[in-house]
Each structure stands twice: as C-alpha cells, then as structure tokens.
Amino acid sequence: MFQKRDMSIVDWILFFILMAIPLLNIVVFIMLLVSPKTCPSLKSYLIVFLILIVIIGLSWATILASIMNTID
C-alpha cells in the first residue's frame, strides 16, 4: 500500500490512522522505515519524524536533569 511512487490523500489518511493506534504505530513505523520499497516521500517523512523525536527526547532529558539539579 505504501509502496507506490506517489501516495494519494487516502494513503496519507490511512497512514495517520495507523500512527494513532498505540503499539501498532511503532511496528508500522519501523516496518516502513526499513523497507526498501517504501514510498520516498513517506520514508523522508519518517526520517524527519525520527530526528524530531530524538531532539525532543534530548531536550526533555536536559530540562529534567536541570530541574533535578536545582531541587538538591
């Protein structure tokens, strides 16, 4: 389904519905990211999304570490 050159609006809507389902979203995310047949635009979206997740996680870790240091 996500292997076409260009994804239709219905494909994108289905993708976002799948991403809204807990635990299934992680499986679909990894499956689409490692598949060589995934649509190039979707793969680019997944890579950018992964980078944002890492940046947000590091930001939260930094903020929580600074808060924990000010409590002591």
pLDDT reading at 45 higher than 80: yes
Tell me if 3 is assigned to some domain: no
HEC string of the chain equals CCCCCCCCHHHHHHHHHHHCCCCHHHHHHHHHHHCCCCCHHHHHHHHHHHHHHHHHHHHHHHHHHHHHHHHC
Tell me if 20 is assigned to some domain: yes
- Residues 6 or more apart from 40 whose CB is under 8 A from it? 5
Report the distance separating Cα 40 and Cα 55, nearest Å. 23
- Enclosing domain of residue 38: 9-71
Q: What is the pTM of this model?
A: 0.80
Tell me if 27 is assigned to some domain: yes
For range 13-29, the mean pLDDT: 93
For residue 69, what pLDDT band results from cuts at 50, 70 and 90?
confident
pLDDT reading at 13 higher than 80: yes
Tell me if 65 is assigned to some domain: yes
Tell me if 1 is assigned to some domain: no
Tally of domains in the chain: 1
Tell me if 52 is assigned to some domain: yes
Tell me if 4 is assigned to some domain: no
pLDDT reading at 27 higher than 70: yes
> How high is the mean pLDDT of the chain?
90
Tell me if 2 is assigned to some domain: no
What is the model's pLDDT at position 72? 61
